[in-house]
Chains A and B, each alone.
Chain A
Amino acid sequence: MITEIEINSKDLDTSEEEHLKTMINRSDIFNLPEPVKNSSTMPDQFQYKVSIQQDGRKRELNLDEENVPDHLRNLITYILKKGRKK
């Protein structure tokens, strides 16, 4: 099952926008090395494609669940929660 969630910080209230910015900074996504693809993928584990644009910078990462750094995991969890609301 593939789900796609897009969040525009301009649509968030000020405190939530700040919260999102903090999480992006903590994830250090713009400086994370390109993840190494495992030679043998575990069946049925999650895969994430995270794409962020901020202040003219862009970063896209494709990660297997087991390779997600903790701070980036927090950001992903936040995005998934936001995407749950119809």
Chain B
Amino acid sequence: MVEKILENGTPKQKEKVKEYARIAGQIRGQRQYLSELTKKAQAAAGQKNRLVYDAENGSNLPGTLKRSEGEAPTGDNTIDEAYEGTGATYDLYSDVFSRSSVDNQGLDLISTVHYLVGYDNAFWNGDQMVFGDGDENLPEAERIFNRFTIAVDIIGHELTHGVTQYEANLVYRNQSGALNESISDVFGSLVKQHVKDQTADQADWIIGAGIFSENINAIGIRSMKAPGTAYDDPLIGTDPQPDHMSDYVDTTSDNGGVHINSGIPNKAFYNVATEIGGYAWEKAGLIWYKSLCDELTQSADFQAAANATYKVAGDLYGNNSTEQKAVYNGWEKVGIIPNADTNTGCSGRILRTIRSIFGRSNS
């Protein structure tokens, strides 16, 4: 019950529970219990609670706890990068969007590092993040990937999959899946820009810079500024991302091209952020965040995202504001015309098609 109150109670109830926990702890001498409750209370009160585990090259999750909130660096780069990166992500969401962790209810930020041997990936499994060491078990000359905690935007990307799960819960297939991926890239990049204190025109807009070893001709895994240009190498092929709807890739691979067609909304966000100028998280980021939380539904497609962001820009900054015009221009440049009438995507498209057939197109 105590845990429930800490999760769902009012601030007054939470404070009472914390007081109860302090007294109970003193009476019973159960320091461990008090410590755990305090951690839950901190999370419920909106404080970050990072927990980094080590899978020790196995696959059992979460593994062995190696660093908790407030503890000193361990000296293991991977553990410490995961700790710092999850903290930077928490800070962006908290400081800029007033969000309390992934679920907006103070969820613990759990990471597991050293997952398997030679694991070239990172992912969000619905509850926590998992990071592989890349090829750091191999001699340098044979490596393709470095460890996946090396890039703070990758950490932001994975945690944002969690945020999306708790908000629009975009289906991970076809356009809704590509939007899911794009939103993770957007906020992953914003985490990096926030850490580096960069404005939109100062940022590199590269996702995963440093992930590839020097043996590979790559600047990262994706470019939001110029989708399709992040890598070109005999071993890993050429970056397949399009930057315009005219080059949309119809495929059954990759859950319908979720990591491919995400280049289109990525480029739209880049267009909007650079046209507005300044820190990208302040306006463009806020428009995307509010759209994710309040407008988009599970099956949203690119058109729905364009409509939603256009509407939110109008709500936040006024119709015909420079910000709303930037949103319009950003999507138009990738071949999608935002529609102010509706943000439902599919029905909006059908309506426009019907109007078009009868010569009354409003777009």
Contacts and interface: CB of A to CB of B under 8 A. Distances in A.
A33 interface: no
Interface in A32-50: 40-47, 49
A31 interface: no
Contacts of A46: 121
Nearest to A64: B255
Contacts of B234: 86
Contacts of A4: 237
A17 B103 CA distance: 51
Interface string A43-86: 11111010000000000000000000000000000000000101
Nearest to B180: A43
Q: How extensive is the interface on chain A, given as a class?
A: 10 to 19
B121 A43 contact: no
A45 B253 CA distance: 13
A1 B236 contact: yes
Contacts of A45: 121, 123
B180 A3 contact: no
A46 to B, nearest CB: 6
B124 A47 contact: no
A42 B121 contact: no
A80 B184 CA distance: 27
A43 B172 contact: yes
Nearest to B172: A41
Interface string B201-240: 0000000000000000000010000000000001111001
B158 A47 contact: no
A44 B122 contact: yes
A30 to B, nearest CB: 23
Interface majority SS (helix, strand, loop, mixed), chain A: loop
Contacts of B158: 43-44
B197 interface: no
A3 B125 contact: no
Contact of A86 (B184, B221, B235): B235
B255 A3 contact: no
Nearest to B154: A44
Nearest to B117: A77
B161 A43 contact: yes
B144 interface: yes
Contacts of A86: 234-235
A2 B123 contact: no
Interface in A1-41: 1-4, 40-41
Nearest to B253: A2
A42 B254 contact: no
B123 A43 contact: yes
Given A1-B221, A1-B236, A3-B237, A44 B124 contact: yes
Contacts of B167: none
B240 A2 contact: yes
Interface in B114-173: 121-126, 142, 144, 158, 161, 172-173
A42 B236 contact: no
Contacts of B255: 41, 47
B40 interface: no
Contact of B125 (A42, A47, A84): A42
A84 B142 contact: yes
Nearest to B161: A43
A43 B181 CA distance: 8
Nearest to A49: B253
Interface of B: 121-126, 142, 144, 158, 161, 172-173, 180-181, 184, 221, 234-237, 240, 253-255, 259
17 contacts: A1-B237, A2-B240, A2-B254, A40-B172, A41-B173, A42-B125, A43-B123, A43-B124, A43-B158, A43-B161, A44-B121, A44-B123, A44-B124, A44-B161, A46-B121, A47-B253, A86-B234
